[in-house]
Structure 1
């Protein structure tokens, strides 16, 4: 998440989650399909592209009756599992050559961290925009961008694309579950735990987000390897298969 010290929802986050809940169906739900044609167009420049998967920006919270608090040990575990799953999946695409993170200078490291934190609020605003009917006429023209500051990865380290991952997992306490049951007796609904994950591919030369997707679940969290794999696979299933070097059948069989 972009705002590391925040223990409560921002208004923007609440709106995103509300919109996700309205569209929820099944265990893990994909609620956004972003800019696929831009990735296809960008990949046409050459056969194989250098790809850097940045460290996932993941937080896991314990959701109480009236507030939430991050649990550092859970966050550490979730970050490790999400990183492993994302690297495994992107390593299977023929059009991408995954590289290890280069030896960045302190200034470059700080800049990359800032862009890691910038990714979620930028795509979050675009996701919200895409859910409103008033913007449907313009949804395929959306040009989401993080700005030109990542160009150093292209110019100095020959990195064509950077993958950014952001997510949060809210795990309900026993007290919140009890409150939900009690409230239900009076016809009042209390949201239970949930998780969301957004994955994006950014063209380093321009900073444009050329592909991204957002998945939401009330059943799948980030503390178990199998569930994390399920969430990541769901997020990547909207990738244009032929463009990334996998057929539609191969993507479906992952």
Structure 2
């Protein structure tokens, strides 16, 4: 068992003894069954698309639209990998939104922003919410994210979570909303792009694909949200 998981297990026991309260659970909004099955297929494919010696770090990001929609897909993908595939998963949220706050412990959690300042350890920013599933918050706000990403402590922590988890999913803000979403594209092993079907024009998608490539990002596939369909990258290139 890894150091992070040992710390989480001990903390969970201590909370149970002290409060009698259960560990908070990451519940996701119900998605259409067809989309859920596509996400499960995607979770399996990520293991063959990205061959690395340790865990995989994947950014899930939408071109535009509601941050809540892409977050919902990130959460469902994380839950499926943890429950159905029995993988150790860390869902790394970039900054708080109302729905994310509900899924974290009631005490205001420490973030990777605190980690970058040397105010806490990595174990203190990772919270177990379900079997095989943990969540963590990178920054207290979008404005603080650039400084966090530049921190050497954070870069070292990413190497640590790669060793401790089979899959790390970065729940990123939309590309059109935050310039930091592009910076995140080079941190991991690949990107899953979420596109609102019938709402996003292909030239816009092509623009962001080029921007991601210029940052060294590796696009693994595209989820057309609304058509309930997952398109692998090699097919998506032909569509363009």
Q: Flag whether TM exceeds 0.5 (same fold).
A: no
- Between 1 and 2, higher relative CO (CA 8 Å, sep ≥ 6) is seen in 1
Which one has a bigger Cα radius of gyration?
1
TM-score by length of 1: 0.28
TM-score by length of 2: 0.29
